[in-house]
Chains A and B, each alone.
Chain A
């Protein structure tokens, strides 16, 4: 069933990346390095705006609508069709507010924190293959890169928590960093089990490895998405991811009823928008990673051009799941959270890794044996 690891994915066969295609399309690639750079910027601009637009829809509008559906209410419906213009109204409202900076705030850190939180998520999207040719870069260490930049966010959170000169922020920042350390390891280790299957860290390689058919049930081809191949790792990764991005039931760093708003207590106006955006970007980045390494990336029925649509659908499915859990599950206590992280998730993640390695190794040995016996 596996064995993709045997065949290194040839780089030259990969689909051209978005900057290259843009370069070709506009003729910018004729201008040498500078042209390529411009093409890259344009491509990054497109991807960045796509993601920002999604958070823009998700934050002020979708979140309200979804929560309302779960709680039998109507929610925003006055401004524009389906209340969609609330996005504009909210943007104006939030940006027009006074930026209040606490007297004792540790200035450069206080100002940098929102930027770090938001930009670390944006950086992660660079290596995500979103289908329809929207793919900015495809380094060989793609998955490691995503985990690394997403992890920067915790630096931003602890900066925000410490620099705000507020005890609640401090508690929130400390909780954030404790939680991120506890869940980063199971997250990465579980991600590695996928790497063992795929045999590569490169995002395009992981996606390609999932393109094969796992099993055909009643004429329906079930693709070899790793969520189907190893559902255990999928659930583990989902849980670790929710903890990593601080969603229910693991939203202890914010914990509105306990520590007011955690690290973002003292943020207002533009800074608040940035932190809020950053949080949503991180949810979507988490969704993007899940979609890429467990749900076949942009794969889906229909022509390949629909890739981006399927990809966005998958990201939103993950987002919906976060909102569903938010409405249904209580928050775990911080000590329980850390305990689950170190005593539960970590052990399970390593068990999963070892098991995956064993299975893949056995399968490959079998394959090698078959090749020896039937050359």
Chain B
């Protein structure tokens, strides 16, 4: 459908509010603006229509998140759209459906990312998506009764999860007379699934014909737990436990950023510098682990690279322990700042950090020798696990996974928060689209993070003593006005970690939705691995660097 609008040809150019309104036209039943983006309420059968227009004519090529929630009188799916070229341009499409018949048109034909996201909403909230290509539960077992995040969910009802043999859901379409295929359960307990991931694979010899990641083994109701915690204190410890491999501060920042925008809390500049430094330390630790475990997948044993990566990560963790008091579950950020100033004596902390930064180039060159220039490593990783940039975008891939495919998006630069915009650093992208590129991106990011930390340390060292304000004044009980909605993302170790919060006037969120980068990155796995060999499947899985705690939440 042509609107005859004069929309900017270049997707990175700003689409004004008026243009959006004209584009959605009379399909918009009402406006429902969120704190971060203009919002349009549309009818449940207009979903594809509107989203196609927004994608093709206004350049919103990135479906960041699909939130499902239930109000007293209706169900609601919220499509949070962004642009890869300019993630500050956002629009929310709100699709209400009735409580009796919560059926809404699927967005899966428009964005592949909607596939898993809508399955999750069906699973947890209970919204049906008409025309969905794969309308199954995703986190909970198939036999689960009820939808846990819906208002009428009966928690007391006992659930029966059968121990019956796994039916082979893939076999029907993969069995023909020409070839004999084998169905193989990779996981949930397997040396290379990085946690409890279950990959249902169909093999033709050693070739992967079909894969279907089965997630949810580590589902811990994190969204619900956050909905039961108070904004001010009780939610902050939980983000540490999503991506639990030392990316804690990055996750905490996602929550902090969302609530600070929701409740208009200012953060002192000094605290922002500390946050930036801490977050980048976490990024180094997380990337070291990613590097180590990827090497583990490719080398095949707990051998040198894995151990060296852990040894180097240990140094970062010591610094973080000095700063935050914990090695993994930091709980260091507070709304409006951080919990503590730098540890005394400050000189010692600076010296320790600088020592680490000074040693880093030598360590990086060691990894270059061990991994990057190793010919066997190259034949294993170059041109395996190909993820085309267009595919990556459609699936909503972010972080090193997208940047390894040449998608130049980094929220730290494109949607600045913290102190990043005042610092000098680069976004690393590689055009290889393969496992090798993703490794290179992570290694490059470690070096960039080191640059950021160094600048932060310089700043902190010279910071005047009487201006070291670590927290702004935040009321002890925070009650944002009712029905304020915000969706905010930060660049976590794995990609865009977004938080959607709807306040209901109390001191606890009405709806707390986590947009997990690992979840969306993992959904690209079939695209990357079909037609490749089992070892490439394992390597691709490793190169995605998923953490099941964040995939399943």
Contact = CB atoms under 8 A, between A and B. Distances in A.
**A–B: direct contact at CB < 8 Å:** yes
Contacts, number: 84
A333 B307 contact: no
A257 B296 contact: yes
Q: Select the residue from A70, A259, A326 with max chain B CB neighbours within 10 A.
A: A259
Nearest to B193: A257
Given A257-B538, A259-B534, A330-B298, A71 B304 contact: yes
Given A71-B308, A72-B311, A327 B206 contact: no
Interface string B174-209: 000000001010000011100000000000001000
Contact of A260 (B190, B206, B296, B303): B190
Interface stretch (A77-85, A248-256, A284-292): A248-256
B301 A256 contact: yes
Nearest to B541: A257
A336 B304 contact: no
A167 interface: yes
Interface string B322-350: 00000000000000000000000000000
A38 interface: no
Nearest to B379: A336
B303 A257 contact: no
Contacts of B307: 71-73
B380 to A, nearest CB: 6
A330 B534 contact: no
Contact of A257 (B297, B374, B376, B377): B297
A328 interface: yes
A255 B306 CA distance: 16
Interface in A128-178: 167-168, 171
A245 to B, nearest CB: 15
B533 A330 contact: no
B38 interface: no
B440 to A, nearest CB: 16
Interface in A41-97: 67, 70-73
Contacts of B191: 256-257, 260
A252 B300 CA distance: 9
B497 to A, nearest CB: 27
Most chain A Cβ neighbours within 10 Å, of B191, B206, B311:
B206
A372 interface: no
A73 B535 CA distance: 28
Contact of A167 (B182, B302, B303): B182
A334 interface: yes
Given A167-B184, A248-B300, A257-B296, A330 B308 contact: no
A219 to B, nearest CB: 38
Nearest to B304: A327
B536 interface: yes
Contact of B299 (A252, A331, A336): A331
Contacts of B311: 72
Given A256-B191, A330-B380, A331-B298, A70 B535 contact: no
A333 B533 contact: yes
A71 B312 CA distance: 12
Given A332-B379, A333-B536, A70 B303 contact: yes
Contacts of A256: 191, 300-301
Given A71-B308, A167-B182, A326-B301, A258 B534 contact: yes
A334 B533 contact: yes
Contacts of A251: 300
Contacts of B192: 257-258
A100 interface: no
Nearest to A175: B206
B370 interface: yes
Given A71-B303, A256-B300, A258-B192, A329 B206 contact: no
Contacts of A366: none
B377 A330 contact: yes
A335 interface: yes
A30 B231 CA distance: 95
Contacts of B184: 167-168
A67 B308 CA distance: 12
Interface in A316-368: 326-336
A256 B191 CA distance: 7
Given A171-B206, A258-B534, A329 B190 contact: no
Contacts of A73: 307
A346 to B, nearest CB: 19
A230 B3 CA distance: 78
| Of A251, A329, A332, most B-chain CB atoms within 10 Å | A329
Contacts of A70: 303-304
Nearest to B295: A330
B298 A334 contact: no
Contact of A258 (B182, B295, B308, B535): B535
Interface in A166-200: 167-168, 171
B288 to A, nearest CB: 15
Contacts of B535: 252, 255, 258, 331, 333-334
A102 to B, nearest CB: 15
Interface in B536-553: 536, 538
A260 B536 CA distance: 15
Interface string B375-399: 0110110000000000000000000
Nearest to A167: B184
A326 B307 CA distance: 13
A331 B295 CA distance: 10
Please indicate which of the listed interface residues B191, B370, B535 has the most CB atoms of chain A within 10 Å of its own CB. Answer: B535
B438 to A, nearest CB: 16
Contacts of A171: 206, 534
B402 to A, nearest CB: 25
Given A257-B191, A336-B379, A330 B299 contact: yes
A329 B533 CA distance: 20
A99 B376 CA distance: 38
Contact of B380 (A168, A327, A333): A333
A70 B191 CA distance: 22
Contact of B206 (A71, A328, A334): A334
A256 B533 CA distance: 15
B534 A326 contact: no
B182 A327 contact: no
B490 to A, nearest CB: 32
Contacts of B296: 257
A82 B65 CA distance: 56
Given A248-B299, A330-B299, 11 more contacts: A71-B303, A72-B308, A248-B300, A257-B296, A329-B299, A330-B295, A330-B298, A330-B376, A331-B298, A331-B535, A333-B535
14 contacts: A70-B303, A70-B304, A72-B311, A167-B182, A248-B299, A256-B300, A257-B191, A260-B190, A327-B304, A328-B370, A330-B298, A331-B380, A335-B206, A336-B380
